[in-house]
Amino acid sequence: MLSKSQARTFFLGGTVLSFLVFLGLSWHSLSKEVPKQTHEENLTPEVVRGKHLWDSNNCMGCHTIFGEGAYYAPELTKVVERRGDEYIKAVLKSPIPWSPRGRKMVAYNFSDTEVNDLLAFLKWTGGVDLNGFPPKPKYKTSINN
């Protein structure tokens, strides 16, 4: 059984040690892992302008990206991989509200430059290493599978 002073020392020592381990792991993640996984070298001015368009038009109000945002509309982290450039350009340039499956997307009628910037941003998000997120669906190829 520990005395009060021993218990206090044990508690404070464990707290300080845990805090130092937390700081060390945070430093390692932020200085080594995050830049390697996000591919900061691919952050072009187009990607940055696309992110500003994403924010200023409140795309996260309906869509998710990296698992964050609303769940009204599709997850867009790897949308370029799933749908392709031309499909995304057509949706973003549409002058009328687009409504697949009963959900209506606002008609932003973006310019060609804005569409290319948003597409660059979506391509960059698709290139970020998210350790397997979002998972790829497993489709059955035949009835017997």
Kindly state whether residues 51 and 9 are assigned to the same domain.
Answer: no
Domain encompassing residue 12: 1-38
Kindly state whether residues 10 and 46 are assigned to the same domain.
Answer: no
Kindly state whether residues 45 and 64 are assigned to the same domain.
Answer: yes
Coil, strand, or helix at residue 64? strand
Kindly state whether residues 91 and 135 are assigned to the same domain.
Answer: yes
Kindly state whether residues 108 and 57 are assigned to the same domain.
Answer: yes
Kindly state whether residues 97 and 133 are assigned to the same domain.
Answer: yes
Please report, in tens digits, the pLDDT of each residue of the chain (145 residues total). Answer: 889 999 999 999 999 999 999 999 988 877 777 677 777 778 899 999 999 999 999 999 999 998 889 888 888 988 998 889 999 998 888 888 877 777 788 888 889 999 999 999 999 998 888 777 667 767 776 665 5
Kindly state whether residues 46 and 32 are assigned to the same domain.
Answer: no
> Domain count of the chain?
2
Coil, strand, or helix at residue 115? helix
d(CA 89, CA 92): 5
For the entire predicted model, the pTM comes to 0.70
Kindly state whether residues 60 and 126 are assigned to the same domain.
Answer: yes
pLDDT at position 143 is: 64
